[in-house]
Structure 1
Amino acid sequence: MPSINDSRCVLVTGATAGIGRALAYAISDLPSKPRVIAAGRRQDRLDELASKMDTIQIDFETDKETIKKFVDDTIAKYPDLDTLVLSAGVQYETWFQKPETIDLDKLLSELNVNYTSILTTITYFLPHLLKLAADGRPCFICPVTAGLGITPGAWVANYSASKAALHSLCYSLHAHLQGTNVHIMEIIPPLVESELHDAEDTTKMLTNKWMPLEEYIPVTMDGLTKGDFQISSGVSLAGLNRFETGKEEVVMKGLEVRKSW
């Protein structure tokens, strides 16, 4: 089974904090020693990573033209790029019983960072990955979704919906790319130690509830090195097993039925 052990050059977005940062370090430490490119918006954090890996500054709260330039420039500089780990994300609480408190600009930004920009990034990188794959190189797209994309957290309704959209997209990409040598590995974390929660000042209350990164990353790297389609743990794995067992086969069959029309 192809896995991240086969990767030669890996782009990790959202690499300046949390899961993205920890995965960038863990991937760079693989025995296969792939080249790692850390992408994120905070230059000071990128400077910290620069002694270990390449870095690119980009904020994914942007438009498709900016992402297209980022993709084109990245491919031109790193023609061996064969793996995407897409970890950029933001999270805001939303209380619909108090609609006057809802900032729609923030929600649309959250949707863009967590879903639309990732969809755009994947779409622009796919021709490059498909070409490499056709030449015999295994390629990988690894979006970071969330257990809340399976069972939503009502207090982070828009975040949950954005991750549900990305989770659904992973099933469809997995089906579409069968036989191409471009592989989808969806990373589905539970509540994990992260600065994601700083935006709502909920980090302190969550520190005794989340899975520490030192516990989470080895489990996730195990799935990446096995080439698993879905890589989950904790309560997210429980939700995946409870609500989505057999869904992959249904999606695959549905696509085959549509092709026969």
Structure 2
Amino acid sequence: MQRSNNTIFITGGTSGIGRALAEAWHDRGNRVLVTGRRQALLDQMADQRPGLRGLALDVDDPAATPQLAAWLHANAPALNVVLANAGISRAEDMAADGWTAEDATAIVQTNILGVLRVAQAALPLLRRNGPATFLATSSALAFVPRADFPAYCASKAFLHSWLQSLRHQLRAFPVEVLELSPPYVQTELTGARQASDPRALPLADYVQQVLHKLEVGDTPHGEVLLDRDLPRRWAERDGTYASVYAAMNPA
């Protein structure tokens, strides 16, 4: 992926990793378009970075797909980079009395179906405009889950598998398919406490490492992974899965 002169579209672009990447890419000389649910945040970003375009959109809504496709064709005909980043995370206790599938349903709706809807809207432009890049935000928890976030981890494992199939199906097109798999980063994904948790990687550090990997092509197997997450990525292959899982999920 080249450093500048791209037309980049990001969902979930008004907070966390999505916003940090949107701002960094804009500052590098790219044309950036973002979606999010909160118009006030979109307006704020556009005020702070002239030229950045925003669309208030909920990827959970199936009716948003044709709207998004039309908006991209009208406003980003040269689109060549997409980051399907919108996602939610919620802890679940399935052993508790009264547990329901409500949270899991919401996670599947956003983290899985939302990505598929973005792909439906954007892939025709990427195939036409190649060389191009389609990225989706997965998680290092796709490889070894935290049991207190079951649906979230499973949704990211789905994306890991689905992106492999997408990469194979697009092999005849000049479209690179990448999986962005963050570790625990200082964002508000699970709440305000995560944004200042000293155990989490500072957001700016994560973004700088990701940008470097993308710009030099350090994406083996189509995966954008930090070195610190490689033991978790290859735990099953290396015969360490049980010990890594136990460390992440103490009895």
Q: CA deviation at 1:220?
A: 0.6
Residue 98 (str. 1) matches residue 102 (str. 2)? no
Quick one: distance in 2 between partners of 1:141 and 1:160?
21
TM-score by length of 1: 0.83
Distance 1:234 1:197, change over 3 A: farther
Structure 1 stretches of 4+ moved >6 Å: none
Counterpart of 1:113 in structure 2 is 110
Distance 1:94 1:234, change over 3 A: farther
Superposed, 1:130-145 pairs within 5 Å as: 130-133=127-130, 138-145=131-138
Aligned to 2:35, the other structure's residue is in SS state strand
Gaps of 5+ in 1: 246-261
Residue number among 225, 229, 247 corresponding to 1:236 in the alignment: 229
Q: CA deviation at 1:174?
A: 1.5
Q: CA deviation at 1:234?
A: 5.3
Quick one: distance in 2 between partners of 1:191 and 1:232?
12
Q: CA deviation at 1:6?
A: 6.3
Instruction: State, as a whole percentage, how many aligned pairs show the same letter.
Output: 26
Q: CA deviation at 1:61?
A: 2.1
Q: CA deviation at 1:58?
A: 0.9
Distance 1:179 1:210, change over 3 A: same
The question of whether the paired residues in 1 share the 8 Å contact of 2:57 and 2:64 is answered with no
The question of whether the paired residues in 2 share the 8 Å contact of 1:115 and 1:162 is answered with yes
Counterpart of 2:150 in structure 1 is 157
Amino acid at match of 2:68: F
Query: Which stretch shows the higher mean deviation, 38-47 or 185-194?
Result: 38-47
Q: CA deviation at 1:124?
A: 2.8
Quick one: distance in 1 between partners of 2:55 and 2:82?
14
Counterpart of 1:49 in structure 2 is 45
TM-align CA RMSD: 1.9
Aligned to 1:55, the other structure's residue is in SS state strand
Q: CA deviation at 1:62?
A: 1.4
Amino acid at match of 1:224: L
TM-score by length of 2: 0.86
Counterpart of 1:38 in structure 2 is 34
Q: CA deviation at 1:230?
A: 1.0
- The structure carrying a bigger helix percent of its residues is 1
Amino acid at match of 1:35: R
Aligned to 1:185, the other structure's residue is in SS state strand
How big is each residue's C-alpha offset from its partner over 1:91-150, in whole Å with a ceiling of 9 and x where there is no partner? 111111115133x233211111001110121123212211222xxxx1110101001111
Aligned to 1:121, the other structure's residue is in SS state helix
Amino acid at match of 1:25: E
Aligned residues: 232
Quick one: distance in 2 between partners of 1:29 and 1:242?
37
Distance 1:237 1:42, change over 3 A: farther
The question of whether the paired residues in 2 share the 8 Å contact of 1:38 and 1:49 is answered with no
Superposed, 1:146-185 pairs within 5 Å as: 146-185=139-178
Distance 1:161 1:19, change over 3 A: same
Q: CA deviation at 1:18?
A: 0.6
The question of whether the paired residues in 1 share the 8 Å contact of 2:4 and 2:25 is answered with no
Q: CA deviation at 1:197?
A: 1.0
**RCO higher in structure (CA 8 A, sep ≥6):** 1
Amino acid at match of 2:36: G
Quick one: distance in 2 between partners of 1:19 and 1:159?
17
